[in-house]
Amino acid sequence: MAISTSATGDGWSSRSAFILAAIGAAVGLGNLWRFPTLAGESGGGAFVIFYIGCVVLLGLPLLLAEIFIGRAGQTDAVGSIRKVATQSRVSPAWSLVGGLGALAAFLIVSFYSVVAGWVLYYVGVFASDFFGALFAGEPFRGALQGQSQEQIAGRMGDLFANPWLLLTMHLLFMGTTLIIVARGISGGIEKAATWLMPAFFVLLLGITIYGAIVGDIGEAAAFLFTPDWSKLTPEVMNSALGQALFSLSLGVAGIITYGSYIRQGTPLGSTALAIGFADTAVALIAGLMIFPIVFAVGLDPAAGPTLVFQTLPFAFESMPAGSLIGLLFFVLILVAAITSSISLLEVPTAWGVGEMGWSRTKSSLIFGVGAFLIGIACLLGYNVWSDVRPLGFWSLFAETDILDTVDGFTGKVMLPLGALFVSIFVGWRADRRLLESTTGLSPIMFTIWRFLLAWLCPLAVAIILVTGLFPSIL
Ligand code: PFF
């Protein structure tokens, strides 16, 4: 029996449906692309251990705070915060934080879809390679046979130089996201998550086992888990903190929005724990999947953002069944990306439904098409508009192209601001009895949670914000 709890009359049909969808939202390009990139660039172990600390001390309390707001408010992020504020007898102006989050989610989905479009392109590259191998009677051969490392790496340059190809991929990805969101919670988002997430985990474990067999898992584990504390610079700490927020989907009201569709009586503390644990486990497993393959071929783990798109495809060339594994690998990333992008588009869509009274179809169309258009500007920034610097007057973004500007502004400014306000709102302003009855935490857990939320989170997030905006301080 589906119990709908939200103002829009739709909701998750069970607790496990919510957990799966929220894990789907959290696990995305952040885990499979950004985490290995940062861990590789930052020298591995010390970054990884500090990151885990950030998740436990900061991420989990904030995750619970956002789930609490959604569960108590039961409508879009703005309406939910307004309701909690009213019940707590504090200013309803706090609801602006929900508006800030919805705007951030709208901007993030615009470039997220462009990056997911690159993944889609690589799915196409590896699909044609694999089916070519299959028809040639060699389904288990390495990928992209006979191509040099330069040729393989060059594919990314070819893609970036071709606005029409980028646009097609972006259109396909955003269109799929839009269709799922337009179908609503139980009929669209939940169905997508319950099909895609199990497929995701099967692929993830399968490729990790493959990497362990043909690659060098010992070296990868040593790289990821042996800390060299001298590498833990303030910049590395800052990026680990920011990555923890991004990976857990915090600060953009995504978890508030998903939390509003939860049924009454769901234990929120253990739910937050399950989501945080799964997200972190996937990031670590992604490291244990990617680095054995990178090390086996003697490639550079610190390749940066191109690690997944250029380094890894080359590694697949000399691996047994590399063609098939390459295809599965990019399908895996695509699945993770789509369950995240639907959660991003859902935030402004729910706002349009809850606050503006639009139908779900109208709201998702307005924001989906809007984000698509901003995404077009982002992808043109790689070719026809390559010298456009949208925030060029600001020294921090003086050299930054369109996509990186939208990414940098949301990640460095909007997301930490959102997380900062949420921690202050729930840590200091929300009514204690409402908090206790909604979360259902034991007294000890409640005290620890409130302490971390009221003191550690605002402090740490304020540090990310200030050092992110004024890097010269570090
Ligand atoms: N957590 C997602 C990832 O790691 O890729 C990104 C994201 C999704 C951020 C949804 C925010 C959000 F609301």
Per-residue model confidence as pLDDT tens digits over 416-461: 999 999 999 999 999 999 999 999 999 999 999 999 999 999 999 9
Percent above pLDDT 70 for the chain: 98
Q: Which fold has domain 15-468?
A: Amino acid/polyamine transporter I (1.20.1740)
Q: Where are the domains of the chain?
A: 15-468
Q: Is the Cβ atom of 23 under 6 angstroms away from ligand 1?
A: no
Q: What is the pLDDT of residue 9?
A: 66
CA atoms within 13 A on the CB side of 449: 25
Report whether 106 contacts 371 (CB < 8 A). Answer: yes
Please indicate whether residue 62 or residue 466 has the higher confidence score (pLDDT): 62
Scanning 357-442, the segments in alpha helix (DSSP H) are: 360-380, 402-409, 415-424, 432-439
User: Ligand 1 centre and the CA of 105: distance in Å?
Assistant: 9
Atom of ligand 1 nearest to the CA of 252: 13
User: Ligand 1 centre and the CA of 29: distance in Å?
Assistant: 8
- Residue 44 tokens, joined: 């591995």
Q: What is the pLDDT of residue 8?
A: 57
Residue 306 pLDDT level (bands cut at 50, 70, 90):
confident
User: Ligand 1 centre and the CA of 224: distance in Å?
Assistant: 23
- For residue 1, pLDDT beyond 60: no
User: Ligand 1 centre and the CA of 30: distance in Å?
Assistant: 7
Instruction: Kindly state the average pLDDT of the residues 177-202.
Output: 93
Task: Residue 41: name the closest of 313, 330, 291 by CA.
Answer: 291
- For residue 187, pLDDT beyond 80: yes
Q: What is the pLDDT of residue 396?
A: 87
- For residue 399, pLDDT beyond 60: yes
- For residue 33, pLDDT beyond 50: yes
Residue 392 pLDDT level (bands cut at 50, 70, 90):
very high
- Residue 95 tokens, joined: 């609801």
Pick the most confident of 96-105, 186-195, 221-230. 96-105
- For residue 5, pLDDT beyond 60: no
Q: Is the Cβ atom of 26 under 6 angstroms away from ligand 1?
A: yes
**Residue owning the nearest CA to atom 12 of ligand 1:** 249
Instruction: Kindly state the average pLDDT of the residues 30-45.
Output: 92
Atom of ligand 1 nearest to the CA of 29: 5
Report whether 61 contacts 457 (CB < 8 A). Answer: yes
Q: What is the pLDDT of residue 146?
A: 85
pLDDT digits (tens, 9 = 90+) for 258-288: 999 998 888 999 999 999 999 999 999 999 9
Atom of ligand 1 nearest to the CA of 347: 13
Instruction: Kindly state the average pLDDT of the residues 70-86.
Output: 97
pLDDT digits (tens, 9 = 90+) for 133-155: 999 999 999 988 888 888 998 99
Average pLDDT, the chain: 93
Q: Is the Cβ atom of 254 under 6 angstroms away from ligand 1?
A: yes
Residue 3 pLDDT level (bands cut at 50, 70, 90):
very low
d(CA 89, CA 187): 36
- For residue 6, pLDDT beyond 60: no
Q: What is the pLDDT of residue 4?
A: 39
- Listed range (260-269, 341-350, 399-408) with the worst mean pLDDT: 260-269
Instruction: Kindly state the average pLDDT of the residues 183-194.
Output: 91
Residue 225 pLDDT level (bands cut at 50, 70, 90):
very high
Report whether 60 contacts 276 (CB < 8 A). Answer: yes
User: Ligand 1 centre and the CA of 249: distance in Å?
Assistant: 4
Instruction: Kindly state the average pLDDT of the residues 168-186.
Output: 96
Q: What is the pLDDT of residue 235?
A: 84
Q: What is the pLDDT of residue 265?
A: 80
- For residue 293, pLDDT beyond 80: yes
pLDDT digits (tens, 9 = 90+) for 203-220: 999 999 999 998 999 999
Task: Give the CA diameter of the chain.
Answer: 71
Report whether 286 contacts 35 (CB < 8 A). Answer: yes
> Model pTM?
0.94
Q: What is the pLDDT of residue 2?
A: 37
Percent above pLDDT 90 for the chain: 80
Residue 357 pLDDT level (bands cut at 50, 70, 90):
very high
Atom of ligand 1 nearest to the CA of 253: 13
Q: What is the pLDDT of residue 149?
A: 87
C-alpha 29: how far from chain center: 5
Q: What is the pLDDT of residue 428?
A: 98
Residue 381 pLDDT level (bands cut at 50, 70, 90):
very high
Q: In angstroms, what is the C-alpha Rg of the chain? A: 22
Residue 43 pLDDT level (bands cut at 50, 70, 90):
confident
Write out the DSSP string of 235-255.
HHHHHHHHHHHHHTT-SSSHH
- Residue 267 tokens, joined: 């234990």
Q: Can you tell me the ipTM of this complex?
A: 0.98
d(CA 126, CA 335): 16
d(CA 271, CA 429): 23
Per DSSP, the three-state class of 452 is helix
Helix (H) or strand (E) holding 469: helix 457-469
Which of 332, 344, 410, 415 gets mutated to test ligand 1 (max ligand atoms within 8 A of its CB)?
344
